[in-house]
Structure 1
């Protein structure tokens, strides 16, 4: 393992803050879209159950969104404190792109978030739904800009390097739409949808296991299982495309992920299922292999060439032990999520979706799986890029600020204490909200529009009354 010094501690601090940050935007991206679907279904069908779920999850969304904003602000300050040389050299390229994220996505989210959270009794239902759509669109747009920057760091394009070592843009279309952005953005957005699908299914499964089911609990479990069954296989396919893109542009990352030290010969490359990459002896110990499988997966040919870490000097290799195992954890969890989706389809076909305790226990157990997979995927991507911040152009060792170990250690310790207290409290509040089932007439967002509001009937706007004057609460299963 690398020695603990100012350089590696600064990397660890950035990794710590990003690990806290990334889960909240992913949760917000998926949950904002879920809220948009719930409100749209309520307006279309008038069923109270969709409104109850909207009001239930919007409270959780507001807390998660706030924590994502706070953690993102803290993370960005490190560009000026611990990584000022990176900001100085790459700032002319990435600075404007990050500014676009603030000027478009963040302003869009902030501008409509208040209407979404507090405006249902003050604006018409169509305008409120428009605000919800804008917040959902803003989260997606924010993800695009941030991933465009990160993708450029992985596969840089559209820039030049001046005599002082500073990068400058030559074609912003190539900077924004760099070679990996079209696989990385869908991969992240689909991961966000899986995060919310499995959290929602876990909450529903918890309440299904604890007591009699309600229309709201059954509806959110059914919707979440549909999402898992549909998105999980698509995500596996997108992961395959991501791997092909990485093989083309970052071959040493692929070599570290596969645990391959020597490039494959004419007989193709085996897939190492398990093993222990040894950086000192330049080999992977205790290997369990499947012949030709790596060539088939990565090149879609029986004897395709797969790179090896020995093709570059030791100083240019990513730290294979971490990349190797985080990649396997991510892939393993992905197939488990796919399996749960298939299990839910079988239960739905048998008519036991809401009565199968085995399915409910598995859904509850698997609820944090997409978050773990997300973190492992991020570690695979970022550690696999090393030793570069801008792949093949700017080394990480040349990106750090001239700051001593005590300064970084102090800030790291403060971050750790504050993060665990603040975000621990936020997560506890979210868990306490989730522990209570959604109820008919869920409170949190008022829907009783005043009679003077033009075009809106007083009472529950958008609700379709039945012949008895009651609002339908039957879920669409």
Structure 2
């Protein structure tokens, strides 16, 4: 392989990783926020408490912008399949293309059909129909996530296929086996909880910010502010521990089907029983050793196999050309775990403060909650890096290499498009995030639902956003 081809391949991977890394945040935000909006409207209809409707009107504006940015960021990747990864599209298209079409026929039309009613119809249709529209949009985001993760999980743990001898294409043989591949249930639960948890910490941080502002002003925060902070902390307290358990189950599944990924994550080079856990170190791919290692005896076997005598794989068990880059996923995995533990601590801390009756009068805790605002999304991105970089050097695990999936594109063209993407994304999405920041800086007020006669945000949102999978080093988004 020529050096220019190697660099072009690296740029193609980085370009897709960059675009999907930006994109994945917005669908995750949409999934969690759509479910939150459905809960808020349902509670308002059940109780008649105006604060729930105030929060609904406040957060639906945020949802509109996030959804719109998901549209823009998602469209780009659809074209990258053809421009940068045409060989992958040709060979895996009979499976991944069909799964993406299922997403369009189910989630796309469900979201598109009811989004307009949700955003602009509260004063134009009955309450029951409007709530049904909100629920349909929320369910649509979950269905979309399901199909995309089915497709991406098949790339991680492929089954239910045959390979055409003449063309090398993957031909579907058993659709149930393809969809419900071994890693799919674990990744679906893990990603869904990640979306809910990420939004919980954004909502909680917004509430904490306005509680601190009210304290500095010597006033009492509005009822909607206190309510959204309380709801977010309930979510964090219960979902964060569930996410840890889901991650553990996902790890056991990965150990079974992708042991080299586990070895790279752990920085283990020799397979051994009663293995220690590496808390810190710097894996060295050249010397096949983890430098500056800090080990916790026996913990590696206990965590990975749930047995002190369990055997943990090492990277030396696998050929050099089949090992993922351990330093990248070693640290991304640990960042994700550290943030998960912090989220669990914050959730339990909130329960203790609630028990003491000081949840709304603890400025130290509120400052921590503000700092935790991006924690969920950072952990999600680190998990995505761990999963997808850990799959390397394959696009379809064990069957199709990344180097064999890329289009024959000149290095100069890849460099030019990569530069354009970075510049445009910084401008477009930087502006969008700035708008979100200004909206969130204004606290929701009692009577928020009465600020607009039409009860509709002054924002036009498009019907839906395509969510795609990464054929090189990206996660389903």
TM-score (norm 1): 0.92
1:107 deviates by 1.1
CA deviations on 1:96-144 (whole Å, 9 max, x unpaired) are: 1000001110111111000000001110000000000000000000000
| 1:5 match: secondary structure | helix
Match of 2:398 in 1: 392
Q: Residue by residue, what CA displacement relative to the aligned partner does 1:317-350 show, whole Å, maximum 9, x if unpaired?
A: 0000001000000000000000000110010000
| Alignment correspondent of 1:406 | 412
Question: Residue 448 of structure 1: CA displacement?
Answer: 7.4
- Write out the 4+ residue segments of structure 1 that deviate beyond 6 Å after TM superposition: none
C-alpha contact (below 8 Å) 2:120/2:455 kept by paired residues: no
Q: Which runs of no fewer than 5 residues in structure 1 stay unpaired?
A: 450-477
**Residue 362 in 1 paired to residue 361 in 2?**
no
Secondary structure of 1:389's aligned partner = strand
User: Residue 47 of structure 1 aligns with which residue?
Assistant: 49
2:306 paired residue number: 300
Q: Which moved more, 1:414-423 or 1:130-139?
A: 414-423
Is the contact made by 2:19 and 2:77 (CA closer than 8 Å) also made in structure 1? yes
Indicate the residue corresponding to 2:472 in structure 1. Answer: none
Match of 2:114 among 88, 112, 115: 112
Q: Matched residue of 2:283: which SS?
A: strand
SS in 1 for 2:271: coil
Residue in structure 2 matched with residue 13 of structure 1 by the alignment: 15
Q: Using the TM superposition, give the Cα deviation of residue 76 of structure 1 relative to its aligned residue in structure 2, in angstroms.
A: 1.7
- Distance, in Å, in 1 between the alignment partners of 2:74 and 2:262 is 29
**One of 253, 262, 273 as aligned partner of 1:254:** 262
Provide the secondary structure at the position in 2 that maps to 1:367.
coil
For residues 343-362 of structure 1, the C-alpha deviation after alignment (integer angstroms, 9 at most, x for no partner) is 10010000000000111001
**1:218 alignment counterpart:** 226
Aligned to 1:202, the other structure's residue is in SS state helix
Query: Within the alignment, does 1:83 sit opposite 2:91 as a pair?
Result: no
**Secondary structure of the corresponding residue to residue 252 of structure 1:** helix
Asked whether 1:237 is paired with 2:240, we answer no
Counterpart among 159, 168, 172 of residue 171 in structure 2? 168
**Which whole-Å CA distance do the structure 2 matches of 1:229 and 1:445 have between them?**
35
Using CA pairs below 8 Å that are at least 6 residues apart, which structure has the higher relative contact order? Answer: 2
Check if 1:208 corresponds to 2:214.
no
Which residue in 1 is equivalent to 2:141?
Answer: 139
Q: Aligned equivalents of 1:110 and 1:411: distance in 2?
A: 31
Match of 2:475 in 1: none
Distance 2:237 2:400 in 1: 41
Partner of 2:190: 187
Determine the C-alpha separation between the residues in 2 that align with 1:298 and 1:312.
19
Structure 2 partner of 1:429? 435
Query: What SS does the corresponding residue of 2:131 show, helix, strand or coil?
Result: helix
- Give SS of 2:202's match: helix
Q: What are structure 2's unaligned runs of at least 5 residues?
A: 215-219, 457-477
Residue 345 of structure 2 is matched in structure 1 by: 339
Matched with 1:464 is: none
The alignment's TM-score, normalised by the length of structure 2, stands at 0.92
| SS of residue matched to 2:279 | strand
Mapped partners of 1:191, 1:434: distance in 2:
21
Matches within 5 A, 1:18-33: 18-33=20-35
* C-alpha distance in structure 1 between counterparts of 2:370 and 2:224, whole Å: 17
Corresponding residue for 2:272? 264
